[in-house]
Amino acid sequence: MIERVIDGVRWIPGKDRFLPDSHMYVIGKDGSEDFSLVDCGLMEMGSYKLDEVESAGIALKHVKRIIMTHTHIDHVGCLPEILQAIPHAEVWVHKDEAVYLERGDDRIVFGNQMFESVIRSQYEVPKDLFAIKVHRKLEGGELLSLGGLPFKVIHLPGHSIGSIGLFNEEHRLFMSGDTLYADGAIGRYDLVSADPIQLKQSLEIVAGLNVDILLPCHNRIVRSGAAIMVKNTVLQWGPLLAS
Ligand SMILES: [Zn+2]
Ligand SMILES: [Zn+2]
């Protein structure tokens, strides 16, 4: 079920199967006619999410763009099916992963050989399914105006080279992708393009945001008071990531 987090931000929980399915967030104030989707999900998990978007009274023609926090299979897997339904939508990805996506290099998408063989055993994956045009290559530092809400793009390499977070200062609301989750968990740092030292630095950046509302791409969300949890997550993981 789609849930309102604040005015202009909605959450559509993922439906995990044998692999996780990322949550999707929908940014845009009602009446703005300018909506953004943040992340998509695993293969075949797009249509129920678009149904949820419509059930919230948002016309799909008003969905202007899809912003990817990064391009792992559990986030980008159903991007092709979503683009079939809303071909007018732009795709925005950090430039360091856009180069892979645009040339159909799916090493970051799959992350490792094991995930690739699991996915290929379960789904038909046509060649070039993940050769996707990126309309805007993000760099980090941009201040985006998304349907009436400002969000700053924060580049957070570590879980993957082009991972980003989206931060709304007014509500201290942070979409963390897979960089960190609630309850002390962080993203894997053993996949293609991951880097534990960079992840440590990225976690420290997040700790500096003094986040109140934490919206990760998996598991539960934190609706208020996330700052202490985030700081403890960094304290817990910092020494492990640096060793
Ligand atoms: Zn990921
Ligand atoms: Zn994920």
Nearest ligand (C-alpha, residue 199): 1
Which positions ≥6 away from 224 have C-beta within 8 Å?
212, 213
pLDDT of the residue at 99: 98
Rounded mean pLDDT of 115-119?
93
Which residues are paired to 173 by β-bridges? Answer: 168, 213
Residue ranges per structural domain of the chain? 3-242
Residue 73 Cα to ligand 1 middle (Å): 8
DSSP tag of 214: E
Residue 141 backbone class (left: φ over 0; alpha: ψ -120 to 50; beta: rest)? left
pLDDT of the residue at 243: 79
Nearest ligand (C-alpha, residue 41): 2
pLDDT of the residue at 132: 98
Residue 33 Cα to ligand 1 middle (Å): 30
pLDDT of the residue at 17: 87
pLDDT score of 176 more than 90: yes
pLDDT score of 18 more than 90: no
Where residue 163 falls among pLDDT bands split at 50, 70, 90? very high
Rounded mean pLDDT of 199-220?
98
pLDDT of the residue at 65: 98
Rounded mean pLDDT of 72-88?
98
Rounded mean pLDDT of 180-186?
98
pTM of this prediction exceeds 0.75: yes
Annotate 46-100 with DSSP letters as a single string.
Answer: SHHHHHHHHHTT--GGGEEEEE-S---HHHHTTHHHHHHH-TT-EEEEEHHHHHH
Nearest ligand (C-alpha, residue 23): 2
**For 217-234, how does the pLDDT look when each residue is reduced to its tens digit (9 = 90+)?**
999 999 999 999 999 999
Fold held by 3-242 = Metallo-beta-lactamase; Chain A (3.60.15)
pLDDT score of 106 more than 90: yes
Residue 49 Cα to ligand 2 middle (Å): 16
